[in-house]
Chain A
Amino acid sequence: MDTRPLGKRGEDLAASHLREQGWEILERNYRSRRGEIDLVCREGDTIVFVEVKARSGTGFARPDQSVTRRKQAKLRRLIEEYRLGHRLEDSDVRFDVLGVTLARKQPRFEHIRGAL
């Protein structure tokens, strides 16, 4: 099954959801050799890296559970790299997981703050 359309829709929904909360979206799909981050945002003074987990239905694992230990380590390195590259050493950073469930007409969001 091709999941790209689902993933893409999920990310769009997540971005607009966060904007509604007053967040500023700094980057979408930040990529480097080390990997990629779905969204880089600013919430107040804190830079928040967001992994969007789109799901087409309920009844499966919680969205944050699909971030494995190995992926966590990779993300940590990626985030450190981003901070250094963007002169963000002196601001708070956080990593959130935003679950988006697309089962019904109205998408449901599940926001896990400080997942790393």
Chain B
Amino acid sequence: MLSRVLSAAVYGVDGYVVTVETDIAYGLSVFNIVGLPDAAVKEAQHRVQAAVKNSGFAFPNRRITVNLAPADVKKEGPAFDLPMAIGILAAGGSLPPGSLSGLAFLGELSLDGTLRPVKGAVAMAVAAAQAGLRGLAVPPQNATEAAMVESLSVYGVGSLNEAVGLARGQTTLTPTRTDVAALFARAAAQTIDLAEVRGHEHAKRALEIAAAGGHNTLMVGPPGSGKTMLARRLPTILPPMTLPEALETTRIHSVVGALSPDRPLVATRPFRSPHHNVSESGMIGGGSSPRPGEVSLAHNGVLFLDELPEFRRDVLEALRQPVEDGEVTIGRARSTFTFPARFMLVCAMNPCPCGFAGDPRHACSCTPPKIRSYRSRISGPLLDRIDIHIEVPALKYDDLSTRRAGESSSAVVERVTRARGAQLARFAATGLRDPVYCNAQMGPQLVRRVCAVSAQSDEILRAAIDRLGLSARAYHRVLKVARTIADLEEKESIQPSHVTEAVQYRTLDRAAW
């Protein structure tokens, strides 16, 4: 009268195995669920009861107790419907003993016994494989993503009856196979290209440098000048995702239910563009048992903040930790959650509220105090973390109508990948404890070691700092960017021309700001 069925759940972005214990005892019919269930888990009793009956089984009119072990972790969501139904059938003797060993079940039941997809199938499949299970039964919509975990046989079951058939060994289901390498190759194709952006040669060059060094970037320009179009194409000039990176990002997207059967793998760098009214928990992750936010969904990709000054101040302040550490920690009374959040930050803003300050063809209607207050909405500490400032002017007609297409993303990405390779080799040679993946992540000590400049370059820097009023922090930013420019040219030492160009990307440090 007791049965044990394995299942899994998600805690933060990690999965863990849950044992669903079901006991059926004599007594008036009661269905109790223990093990910190939330409302959706408690409601499972009604779905399970209807689904069992409508699948042609008798539902035992007895005292049913279901325990979700480990009992001290909060259980959420409807994914336990299927294991509970299986558990009741097993405890009632409808399934032969031993038929469930090493097999885990996941899925939300509808009242007629068919299964609905669940969130976080990848993370749960990983947990099941780590626990040494032999198989995992999931709704068919989740089968492709879960089957990316190769050491596990994943079965897509469409209904409770199919799941029972699988446990009894009656139906011969073939495990779903996902050819991760082929899927990865197919899904890695880009649909947009840098060549589609006409003109803006200066901005494209700056973006290439940003991509090559992983530098956070701010674009300033009037509305409609192409800031968003440029930013959208940044992922296409970043080095292609490696498979481990893709799997990491996929797992996060799986937890929020952002995957679909035709797109089970996030193989291109994500581009997240949250609206400026996003809440703090929407941005960095949150909820009583936290789920990942935009910064984590942008992991290994690009987080684009359009209309930067319109974002709420607390939201922008909350960005500081992920930008700095590549991960975000969310504290809750019971525990803390750490989600990966390594992304390139790209921001865009108008130069003033009306958008036309500095535009030769439109008159700006903003008063200087208005402009000042607009610009001051971006906090200094955030601006400090942005290495490259780009001015994106409105295009002249000649630039727009030009027949000459710009360079394609594939040509740029080749240079970017080479520059990144040079950086990785250099960092490996320094034998650092903390891994540094690109120039933007270098600390002050490392900058001093690998960004040595000649006396001539030093002179240029001194002049720039004096004339433009650059801060000490800006000085380090300039050196890092100069390092990246040299890497793009495959030069080991930083030349004066590299420094001059790098200084150009500090326009917002000038007195006008």
CB pair B28–A95 under 8 Å, yes or no, is yes
Q: Considering the chains assembled together, what is the distance between the CA atoms of A90 and B29 in angstroms?
A: 14
> Can you name the residue of chain B whose Cβ is closest to the Cβ of A90?
B26
A91 in the interface (beta carbon within 8 A): yes
Query: Do A114 and B29 touch across chains, with their CB atoms under 8 A apart?
Result: yes
Look across to chain A and name the residue whose beta carbon is closest to the beta carbon of B27: A93
Map CB proximity to A onto B470-482 as digits: 1 under 8 Å, 0 otherwise: 0000000000000
The answer, yes or no, to whether A52 is at the interface (CB within 8 Å) is: no
Cα(A81)–Cα(B21), bound, Å: 27
- Shortest Cβ distance from residue A75 to the other chain B in the assembled complex, whole angstroms: 9
B28–A116 touching, CB < 8 Å: yes
Once bound together, how far apart are the Cα atoms of A95 and B30, in whole Å? 12
Least Cβ distance of B440 to chain A in Å? 64
- Minimum distance in angstroms from A44 CB to a CB of chain B: 14
In the complex, the chain B residue whose C-beta lies closest to that of A79 is: B28
Query: How far apart sit A76 and B62, CA to CA, in the bound complex (Å)?
Result: 13
A61 and B62 alpha carbons, distance in the complex (Å):
28
Q: Please indicate the chain A residues that have their CB under 8 angstroms from the CB of B29 in the complex.
A: 94, 114, 116
The docked-state distance in angstroms from the alpha carbon of A12 to that of B61 is 28
A110 within 8 A of B: no
Q: Which residues of B (16-31) have their CB < 8 Å from a CB of A? A: 26-29
Q: With a CB–CB cut-off of 8 A, which chain B residues contact A83?
A: 27
A89 near B: Cβ within 8 Å? yes
| Contacts between the two chains (Cβ within 8 Å), count | 22
Chain B contact residues, majority secondary structure: loop
Residues of A within 8 A of B27 (CB): 80, 83, 93
Q: Is the CB of B28 within 8 A of A91?
A: no
Would B28 and A94 count as touching, CB distance under 8 A? yes
Interface size of A by Cβ–Cβ distance < 8 Å? 13
Complex CA gap A76/B30 in Å reads: 10
Q: Which residue of B lies closest to A75 (CB)?
A: B28
A89 and B28 alpha carbons, distance in the complex (Å): 11
Q: Contact: B26 with A91, CB < 8 Å?
A: yes
Tell me the bound Cα distance from A93 to B28 in angstroms: 6
Q: How far is the CB of A40 from chain B (nearest CB, A)?
A: 14
A61-116 interface (Cβ within 8 A of B): 76, 79-80, 83, 89-95, 114, 116
CB pair B61–A89 under 8 Å, yes or no, is: no
Which A residues lie within 8 Å of B26 (CB)? Answer: 89-93
Interface-central residue, A80, A90, A91, A93, by most chain B CB under 10 Å: A93
Digit string of B398-411 for contact with A (CB within 8 Å is 1, else 0)? 00000000000000
Query: When chains A and B are docked, how far (Å) is the Cα of A15 from the Cα of B26?
Result: 25
Q: In the bound complex, how far is the Cα of B26 from the Cα of A92, in angstroms?
A: 5
Within 8 A of A (CB), among B55-87: 61-62
Q: Which residues of B contact A95 (CB under 8 A)?
A: 28
In the complex the two chains form, what is the Cα distance from A80 to B26 in whole Å? 11
**B residues in contact with A79, CB < 8 Å:** 28
Q: Give complex CA distance A95, B27 in Å.
A: 10
Residues of B within 8 A of A94 (CB): 28-29, 61
Distance of A93 Cα from B63 Cα, bound (Å): 10
| Option from A80, A89, A92, A116 in Cβ contact (under 8 Å) with B62 | A92
Docked Cα-Cα span, A114 to B61, in Å, equals 8
Measured CA separation A116–B30 after assembly (Å): 9
Interface centre among B27, B28, B61 (most CB of A within 10 A): B28
Min distance, Cβ A70 to any Cβ of chain B, angstroms: 16
> What are the interface flags for B22-50 relative to A under an 8 Å C-beta threshold, 1 for contact and 0 otherwise?
00001111000000000000000000000
Q: What is the CB-to-nearest-CB distance from B206 to chain A, in angstroms, rounded to a whole number?
A: 69
Q: A107 to B27: give the CA distance in the assembly, Å.
A: 32
Residues of B within 8 A of A114 (CB): 29, 61
How far does the alpha carbon of A80 sit from the alpha carbon of B27 in the complex, in Å? 8
Q: How far is the CB of A81 from chain B (nearest CB, A)?
A: 12
A104 to B29, CA, bound (A): 35
Within the complex, what minimum Cβ distance (angstroms) separates A23 from chain B? 17
The docked-state distance in angstroms from the alpha carbon of A94 to that of B63 is 11
Nearest chain B CB to A56 CB, angstrom units: 30
Q: Given the complex of chains A and B, what is the CA–CA distance between A91 and B27 in angstroms?
A: 8
**Neighbouring B residues of A76 by C-beta, 8 Å:** 28
Give the docked Cα–Cα distance between A107 and B26 (Å).
34
Q: Which of A12-30 contact B (CB under 8 A)?
A: none
* Chain A: minimal CB distance from B425 (Å): 73
Chain A proximity of B176: nearest CB distance (Å):
40
Using a CB–CB cutoff of 8 Å, the interface residues on chain A facing chain B are: 76, 79-80, 83, 89-95, 114, 116
Chain B residues within 8 Å of A, Cβ to Cβ: 26-29, 61-62
Beyond contacts A79-B28, A114-B61, A116-B28: 9 other A-B pairs, Cβ-Cβ < 8 A, are A76-B28, A80-B27, A89-B26, A92-B26, A92-B62, A93-B27, A93-B28, A94-B61, A116-B29
Can you list 22 A-B contacts (CB < 8 A)? A76-B28, A79-B28, A80-B27, A80-B28, A83-B27, A89-B26, A90-B26, A91-B26, A92-B26, A92-B61, A92-B62, A93-B26, A93-B27, A93-B28, A94-B28, A94-B29, A94-B61, A95-B28, A114-B29, A114-B61, A116-B28, A116-B29
Q: What 3 pairs between A and B have smallest CB-CB spacing?
A: A114-B61, A116-B28, A92-B26
